[in-house]
Structure 1
């Protein structure tokens, strides 16, 4: 048995990966400031939806616009976490801070798992330390922790909640105890994102089977909280689920075969095969075999009902965690027998599964620059120049710190738009809603629509100065709904044109 001193292992095997992670964060943060004229932006527009909602929650109102209820956030609790600093000058950086701590948490619980796995290994301390350090670095990459941090969304926190739940389950199997942090995480997880409901309920059922009856209370609390939030939305005259969940589920309709063919889908298929193989081996412990069945069910539920892309990252990270725990004896035996050969595979395999994440580390500044050149400039024009109601189909940054009405044509924050998308046979509703909310300026991606209302007058186009990476289109079209406002808006755009970034182009008609 290797005599592992946790304090010494901590200093050498967790500090180094965390320092590397923080160094990558610092480099990318600095690079973003450089390419963005010293303005920090996230790599997508969505975190500004959470920030905008948090602004209004701080004023005891739920919605993007102060005189209209809406549910544009796909997370119940994430906007609430942004409340403490949302009205301060640098409050928009809080999602970045939350993601940094969430990523460090993920690294920490992987470290706890690995020290558990190698506690009885015959490898010497130096060998164990090297394995753990290299694997934690590969987790930073395979878990897409760097890019996900700058995305500013709740996905990193979602992954952390899943990892804590699985680590607690491992503690129960090994030591017959359930850490207190489990009861907090298993309840919070579905509030961070609805997808976590499958992991929470699956593990609660697993523990309940092994006579941990008190975990039933956690399931009851989860159901009460989710049902309570749905009742809250209904009381506001909204749908029982957030409009962002309903609208995106229609746009990003799940295609099982397409999901399988993605990078994340292939990783989940590999995980399913390994879980099935583990269950088939008769000599494996019964608790761990049952755990493999329950986690396989979680993966299948996501593959059938969920979507790919960033919505799969939490499950890929969790899959790596569960496979290390289940196959720990095989990993130890392989490394003890063929250390020089298998240590490379132990690190390389996660990287091969997630080769795109390697690239993503280097594109963070350019992805953030997309938001700076487009959404931030739209925000500037709406808030600093036009100062009146506008309509958009990407509501994040334009609505953030904007007291004027923002009509969401896409339907994430507008129940009227959402219902029209489901029922309307033509696009006349777009003009009707604009007129209803006194909107005369529309800033949209034209390619999102089969046709544009005939009375809308195209007055300009905002073109990205650099390669399109994370925004939904390289060109935003500016339309004027009422010709009486044409000269005024054209004049404002002409003034604004002089202030945009050098490479960005605003073409006026």
Structure 2
């Protein structure tokens, strides 16, 4: 058997292993979730924000409400992939389709990267098996958001840099990953920047500058598109996420505190240790010059995400950075046989991440679909099937998709006015003023999210309580408020009518006049 045949067979085995592990994990998570919920559902209602935006794009608009421009989507490009079948129930399956495709392609690409690492067969088999678990391929796909595509873009850049290092040529994978990554999520600029640094240090100056400029131009073009619609240059969701769950705008002065808070996440600690290892290897004599360039890219992207990125939020925000940074360091330590201790340390990191993501998803994440079906699904069904009028919410998603009536977003993902007030001047009754101006008579909110913004004359007419155990929700109780006292009796009657039809693990309690 020739060496080429042996390498080809090993590559095929690695690909099969990576794909199988991804598929089995995905099937396991979805199977447990299906048993818990009784139906297929996504574990986050954010998916429906993208679907609602896609619905408006298909109708010639951009936002979540007909005839109203808003920048609610966290991804510039993802809603455009969801425009097929807009206005039909079939559209809801598109996130599952795209995420499954991205997961499978990511598994294939990861196996290819490992097979070209130059390591022994044992090391390659180990990292090919652990990678899909450590980078949560299946969990990201289960969420149904753009994060699987984001991870795929990072893998494309990884493989592209590997090809450049080994063969001295620029691959289409590198071009696609560096240019399109930031259009999947703006954080992709951290990977594009890291990749450009590596190319610069490898002597590919023109390519590095060109690719970074192309990616930046697309981002700038999208920002111009938003401003041409009269919107802010950054999507509302990006500005809201920078502020976390707080009520203050993000400031560069917050970076040291943000970094300390990040380290409460075990995944952030793993990323920090990996970055510090990359820095330590840079100071080590004898490391091949080409490998040093990879370490610089790892340090740049890793520090960038630690300072500006997010961790957690259903174990998805950090995955693109984890994939890129740990992948680059793996490529270095597997090429240099003297780095045996560093290999073992990296192996521990991969194993820890795989176990941590898998444990959380099996015991907590798989209840997400049940929570969305039981809470947001019932909110959506009540509003669309019974109430059928404009409504205000503070957790945008299921309620706004396939809804012809206006949905006022009090958290601000689809309303810059609400976002600005919440972050800059959350005075008593601010939400009540927005609701009054919009002529909305029903608000469905988590009380603690709106807090003093709740109107003094609002009347609580009902509470929807999720009873299905621990889940990733903004709150287990959702309050229904009549924002105009004269509307209270009518809404109570409608809630009473809907209460027997509540689906899933939830209880709808109608609050009579004078109660509470």
TM-score using structure 1 length:
0.91
Tell me the number of residue pairs that the alignment of Structure 1 and Structure 2 aligns: 494
In structure 2, what is the equivalent of residue 217 of structure 1? 210
Q: Which moved more, 1:109-118 or 1:11-20?
A: 11-20
In structure 2, what is the equivalent of residue 95 of structure 1? 95
1:359-389 per-position Cα deviation (integer Å, ceiling 9, x unaligned): 1342443121111111111111111111100
Select which of 243, 256, 260 maps to 2:259. 256
Residue 202 of structure 1: how far off its partner (Å): 2.9
1:422-451 per-position Cα deviation (integer Å, ceiling 9, x unaligned): 343513331222122221111000011332
Q: Which moved more, 1:161-170 or 1:196-205?
A: 196-205
Alignment of 1:337-376 (within 5 A): 348-363=348-363, 364-376=365-377
Residue 212 of structure 1: how far off its partner (Å): 4.5
Alignment partner of 1:277 is 2:285: no
Alignment check: 8 A CA contact 2:11 2:112 kept:
no
Alignment of 1:293-312 (within 5 A): 293-309=296-312, 310-312=316-318
Tell me how far apart the structure 1 counterparts of residues 93 and 504 of structure 2 sit (CA, whole Å): 25
Residue 147 of structure 1: how far off its partner (Å): 1.7
Q: Which moved more, 1:61-70 or 1:248-257?
A: 248-257
Alignment check: 8 A CA contact 2:44 2:369 kept:
yes
Alignment check: 8 A CA contact 2:294 2:329 kept:
no
Alignment of 1:187-226 (within 5 A): 187-209=179-201, 210-226=203-219
Tell me how far apart the structure 1 counterparts of residues 128 and 334 of structure 2 sit (CA, whole Å): 16
Alignment of 1:70-219 (within 5 A): 70-118=70-118, 121=120, 128=121, 131-209=123-201, 210-219=203-212
Residue 333 of structure 1: how far off its partner (Å): 7.9
Q: Which moved more, 1:414-423 or 1:345-354?
A: 345-354
Residue 216 of structure 1: how far off its partner (Å): 2.9
SS at match of 1:490: helix
Query: Which structure 1 residue ranges, 5 or more long, are not aligned?
Result: 122-127, 336-341
Residue 348 of structure 1: how far off its partner (Å): 4.9
Tell me how far apart the structure 2 counterparts of residues 99 and 2 of structure 1 sit (CA, whole Å): 36
Tell me how far apart the structure 1 counterparts of residues 346 and 186 of structure 2 sit (CA, whole Å): 32
Distance 1:423 1:12, change over 3 A: closer
Residue 331 of structure 1: how far off its partner (Å): 5.4
Alignment check: 8 A CA contact 1:243 1:418 kept:
yes
In structure 1, what is the equivalent of residue 475 of structure 2? 473
The Cα RMSD (Å) is 2.4
Tell me how far apart the structure 2 counterparts of residues 178 and 269 of structure 1 sit (CA, whole Å): 30
Alignment check: 8 A CA contact 1:390 1:407 kept:
yes
Residue 345 of structure 1: how far off its partner (Å): 7.8
Alignment partner of 1:235 is 2:228: yes
Alignment partner of 1:395 is 2:387: no
SS at match of 1:430: helix
Alignment check: 8 A CA contact 1:233 1:239 kept:
yes
Alignment check: 8 A CA contact 2:374 2:504 kept:
no
Alignment check: 8 A CA contact 2:18 2:111 kept:
no
SS at match of 1:326: helix
Tell me how far apart the structure 1 counterparts of residues 193 and 12 of structure 2 sit (CA, whole Å): 36
Q: Which moved more, 1:66-75 or 1:210-219?
A: 210-219
Select which of 309, 313, 318 maps to 2:319. 313
Alignment check: 8 A CA contact 2:463 2:478 kept:
yes
In structure 2, what is the equivalent of residue 339 of structure 1? none
Alignment check: 8 A CA contact 2:114 2:127 kept:
no
SS at match of 2:463: strand
Tell me how far apart the structure 2 counterparts of residues 415 and 464 of structure 1 sit (CA, whole Å): 30
SS at match of 1:72: coil
Residue 159 of structure 1: how far off its partner (Å): 1.3
Distance 1:487 1:261, change over 3 A: closer
Alignment check: 8 A CA contact 2:391 2:441 kept:
yes
Tell me how far apart the structure 2 counterparts of residues 344 and 260 of structure 1 sit (CA, whole Å): 23
In structure 2, what is the equivalent of residue 501 of structure 1? 503
Alignment check: 8 A CA contact 2:410 2:418 kept:
yes
Distance 1:349 1:206, change over 3 A: closer
1:150-204 per-position Cα deviation (integer Å, ceiling 9, x unaligned): 1111112111111211211111111111112221221100001111112212322
Distance 1:71 1:499, change over 3 A: same
1:392-413 per-position Cα deviation (integer Å, ceiling 9, x unaligned): 0011111011111000000010
Alignment partner of 1:56 is 2:56: yes
1:444-463 per-position Cα deviation (integer Å, ceiling 9, x unaligned): 00011332211100001100
Tell me how far apart the structure 2 counterparts of residues 184 and 352 of structure 1 sit (CA, whole Å): 31
SS at match of 1:388: coil
Tell me how far apart the structure 1 counterparts of residues 345 and 244 of structure 2 sit (CA, whole Å): 39
Select which of 283, 287, 304 maps to 2:290. 287
Alignment check: 8 A CA contact 2:75 2:185 kept:
yes
Alignment check: 8 A CA contact 1:146 1:361 kept:
no
Residue 257 of structure 1: how far off its partner (Å): 0.9
